[in-house]
Amino acid sequence: MGNKYKYGLVLSGGGTRGFAHLGAIKALEEEGIKPEIISGVSAGSIVGALYADGQGAETALKALISKNLLGLLKLIIPRTGLLKMTGFERTLKKTLKAKRFEDLEIPLLTHAVNINTVEYTQFDKGDLIQAIKASSSIPIVFPPVEIDGYQYLDGGIVNNFPVEPLVDKCDTIIGINVNPVGKEDKINNLKTIAIRSFHLSMRNHAESRKDKCHIYIEPEELEKFGILDLESAKEVFQIGYKKAKEVLKKR
């Protein structure tokens, strides 16, 4: 008996580098590859939700740019996070047709860390937008998200490349990692230190798990982009597209 799904897609975290996920998905679409289940974390949960919601790669890119996904983030007094997610939730509500996981066209698995119980938690049912917010709350940069009385942060803290839920369920697992770590010359503020520390904690997640993928895509050029760099969205999208085309051509 074969696996339940033909194609499964794993989407890593990486902030606005996640626009490269959309570029790679465009390349998959052109090859006639349509994932039937998605496991994503942080930025991967956002892109995964858009795709599972039935939106094509370029449509999703235009929607996120036009609605200014990060433009309404506000600096707050550092109590639980440096930036408030003002506008982020509003953007998701305007962009996504689905409000619950059950409303999506294809199954989506998102991941966050319960900082009360110190457990890596998978969300695959119920309120979609709260789960995406929880999965995307980078420590220190964003405050924790409360769900059912528990506080959650970005799942990338524990596993920034959640391939395990798809193992033995898919004939072909496609993994996209948008979080290569390069050299950073200017480290001169708390936000940069927080983001850099987060990157370092995640750097080996994909490396140790990429062998579980049948197709693995990692655009090295993304090293030069920050994870809150919305202005480079189109360039990042093209980098993801180009790298995916190269990988798919060789398979």
Active-site annotation, residues:
42, 154
| Residue in this structure with the two tokens 């990338």, named with its chain if needed | 156
Amino acid at 120: Y
Amino acid at 239: I
CA nearest neighbour of 141 among 190, 72, 68: 190
Helices 43-52 and 19-30: crossing angle in degrees, nearest 10, is 40
What is the per-residue burial (b if ≥16 Cβ within 10 Å, else e) of 81-97? bbbbbebbeebbeebbe
